Structure 1
Amino acid sequence: MALLKFKKKPEFTLDAAPVSPTVEAFLDGYSIEVMPRTAEKVEDFRSLLPAGTRVYIAHIEGTPIEDMVATAKRLAHEGYPVMPHFPARIIKDEATLTDWIARYQGEAGVDQALLLAGGVATPHGKFDSSMQLMETGLFGKAGFKRLHVAGHPEGNKDIDPDGSDKNVMDALRWKQRFAESSDAQMALATQFCFEAAPVIKWADRLKAEGIDIPIHIGVAGPAKLQTLIKFAVACGVGPSLKVLQKRAKDVTKLLLPFEPTEFIADLAAHKAANPDFNIERVHFFPLGGIKTNANWAIEHAGASGVPAQPVEIA
């Protein structure tokens, strides 16, 4: 693979290290998440992301819908399919939901969405869950082609405070029935994890339960260890948090960025050995920055990480 030419020393090179064919295949078609304020820091996504990369736009409480739609419009203009979050608990009513859908479609051509409850303790209006959003039928009426919902390989204490997974599993069974009756393509976009074994166990359990919605596994992009631990605790990451805690005890590695290399390699190897394994895609949470995450993918994913439009850096 040819080396990109830069006018000054680049942050990465395309032939910096050998690429694992299994990892390259596993990362094919990966997606990534941004927020309006983080997207503003990227001059041109085409210099970082492969063509066709699905870009989720996280909707944090307090972010104006105008900012969300403007970000969606910008990304669509650069050639990327956009999947905005629709957090149920910050959507006041069906009129608001209808307005958001119309704005995304009219201004950015959006036809896909991630539906989730949202990290808000008290709902702003009538909606409390992604299932209630789906029950409105508004996404179907608008002709949305793809709907993703949340998955939690290590449980969700907001839904099951007692530590069980009864409510989570009941919700997944409901979503499976919805997927079977919907024209939209569906997938489970999961919380990020740090250890392959719990993910494999969870995916196998879903399959045994008859839940075959494709899984898009959440992966935390390269970041400082302290940053990852902070986000992991805040987001309720489960047993795989011990991977970070173990790393934190090694003072020789404490200041080094933590990368998802081993986690992805383990899942990629399992997928290669078990083609019917129900993880379909990787979804990156760029907790250490979009550029840092994209550069990691460029270095480790081979053809699956090549930017849409490599540019010279002045």
Structure 2
Amino acid sequence: MAFLKDAVSGAGSVSSGRQIAAFVNGYSIEVMPRTAAKIADFSALLPAGTRVYVAHIEGTPIDDMVATASRLAHEGFAVMPHLPARMIADVATLEEWLRRYADAGVSEALLLAGGTAKPYGAFNSSIEMMETGLFDRLGFRRLHVAGHPEGNRDIDPDGSTAVADAALSWKQAFCERTDAEMAIVTQFAFDARPVIAWSKRLREAGVTLPIHVGVAGPARLQTLIKYALSCGVGPSIRVLQRRAMDLRRLMLPYEPADFLADLAAHCADDPASLITQAHFFPLGGVTKAAEWANEVSGAVALRAAG
């Protein structure tokens, strides 16, 4: 595999390539209803049982969200729709959505505030949704929550991670007093150092929830910079800016090789790390991201052997 050869030559050992493959194996990936509609057969693209997040972008009808979730569930995937608190009008609407997802075979959800500036109605945060007790009552056994290693200006206007991290401590306590299986999934980043430092701070604060690190899939550099700016990616955007100044690499597609190599090395050096998994944002296309991740993790070889 070309990527593993490059990774090994960069890191200097075959073990590095194996570390990366082990870290990427079991990855999750994100789709939207409109991007999912372009994939004729997910079972030919993704390893069996892959967790597929369905992103709920503002303006997407709930009918489209449920239809996409139902399709993926029936194709044998673990489906995790986004539930953006600020886009949900009230408790009754949340209950209706959860019942519809449950009827479609879904028992997982990613809870987040959502990207809207003002709430549509009753909810402003994922914590407020969790406090309703609806997830437990309606059989949602796994709940993931959002993490922001480089901060989120909507939550911490000063650029820190203080309020967002305090919210994760609350969610840790929620996990301990309920039977929910929980994990943190982060915004995508391009430099592993702030992600690793953040994970250590959380662990020192008593958080034990596993962290699934957001990884930007292969894409044109211009595309990634656009998404990074619109999504509020923090200091690690400098990785892209430095690359843009290198004329030799400007026109080459970005691949998250170095980012993953650093995360994998950290996990190998620190077995107690909260960082456990890669979650792909397919900014350059679902097919491109999945094929790349499959090659890196060895899923292509495993599927062929099976």
Interval of TM-score (by shorter of Structure 1 and Structure 2): over 0.9
Q: 2:259 aligns with which of 256, 263, 283?
A: 263
Q: Find out whether 1:247 has 2:253 as its counterpart.
A: no
What is the letter of the counterpart of residue 260 of structure 1?
P
Q: 3-state SS of the aligned residue for 1:189?
A: strand
Q: 3-state SS of the aligned residue for 1:82?
A: strand
The residue aligned with 1:275 is 271
The structural deviation recorded for 1:307 is 7.9
The 3 A distance-change label for structure 1 pair 307 and 288 is farther
The structural deviation recorded for 1:309 is 8.4
The residue aligned with 2:226 is 230
Q: Find out whether 1:100 has 2:75 as its counterpart.
A: no
The structural deviation recorded for 1:164 is 2.6
Q: Find out whether 1:167 has 2:163 as its counterpart.
A: yes
The residue aligned with 1:78 is 75
Post-superposition CA distance 1:260-310 (Å, at most 9, x none):
01100111011112111111211100000001101111221114x568689
What is the letter of the counterpart of residue 216 of structure 2?
A
Q: Find out whether 1:193 has 2:195 as its counterpart.
A: no
Q: 2:88 aligns with which of 81, 86, 91?
A: 91
What is the letter of the counterpart of residue 243 of structure 1?
V
The 3 A distance-change label for structure 1 pair 235 and 110 is same
Native 8 Å contact 2:149 2:161 kept in 1: no
Structure 1 spans left out of the alignment, 5+ residues: 1-14
Q: Find out whether 1:33 has 2:30 as its counterpart.
A: yes
**2:111, 2:270 → 1: CA distance?**
29
**1:151, 1:164 → 2: CA distance?**
13
Structure 2 spans left out of the alignment, 5+ residues: 6-16
The 3 A distance-change label for structure 1 pair 37 and 51 is same
Q: Find out whether 1:214 has 2:210 as its counterpart.
A: yes
What is the letter of the counterpart of residue 93 of structure 1?
D
Post-superposition CA distance 1:222-243 (Å, at most 9, x none):
0110110111111111110100
Let me know the Cα RMSD of the aligned residues. 1.5
Q: Find out whether 1:56 has 2:62 as its counterpart.
A: no
The 3 A distance-change label for structure 1 pair 226 and 307 is farther
Q: 3-state SS of the aligned residue for 2:215?
A: strand
Q: Find out whether 1:179 has 2:164 as its counterpart.
A: no
Native 8 Å contact 2:145 2:184 kept in 1: yes
What is the letter of the counterpart of residue 129 of structure 1?
S
Post-superposition CA distance 1:167-223 (Å, at most 9, x none):
112211111111111211000110001011111111111111111111010000001
The residue aligned with 1:24 is 21
> Taking structure 2 as the reference length, what is the TM-score of the superposition?
0.93
The 3 A distance-change label for structure 1 pair 76 and 306 is farther
Q: How many residues align?
A: 294
Native 8 Å contact 2:25 2:298 kept in 1: no
Q: 3-state SS of the aligned residue for 2:197?
A: helix
Q: 3-state SS of the aligned residue for 2:145?
A: strand
The 3 A distance-change label for structure 1 pair 249 and 64 is same
The 3 A distance-change label for structure 1 pair 170 and 129 is same
Native 8 Å contact 1:221 1:287 kept in 2: yes
